[in-house]
Amino acid sequence: QVQLVESGGGLVQPGGSLTLSCAASGTIFDINAMGWYRQAPGKQRELVAIVTRAGSTNYADSVKGRFTISRDSAKNTVYLLMNSLKPEDTAVYYCNVRIPIGGYWGQGTQVTVSS
């Protein structure tokens, strides 16, 4: 069974940086996109960034210019480079892999931005 293992979350001060990674346990065929979602307390889960099979990217307005999504298709791994972090970025971040029918989710990793 395919699993997505996330790492890289933690506590960071405002203005700091973190890099999240998400690695699939095995080869996944027909990936449409890989991305990151986040969910803050009392809020709905929202899309943060995605990278499509063709390599195009899309970002939530709130993270444009600060976050960068990248992928290593050979390793079935996706990264989220987060710079200039703000307290409002505090959330549980979830990796997602989309396939034609359904998809996969990571276990979630906590990112806390606080002094």
pLDDT, average across residues 42-69? 96
Secondary structure string (H, E, C) spanning the chain: CCCEEEECCEEECCCCCEEEEEEECCCCCCCCEEEEEEECCCCCCEEEEEEECCCCEEECHHHCCCEEEEEEHHHCEEEEEECCCCHHHCEEEEEEEECCCCEEEECCEEEEECC
pLDDT, average across residues 49-72? 96
pLDDT tens across 19-44, in order?
Answer: 999 998 877 778 899 999 999 999 99
What pLDDT is recorded for position 104? 93
pLDDT tens across 75-114, in order?
Answer: 889 999 999 999 999 999 999 999 998 999 999 999 999 9
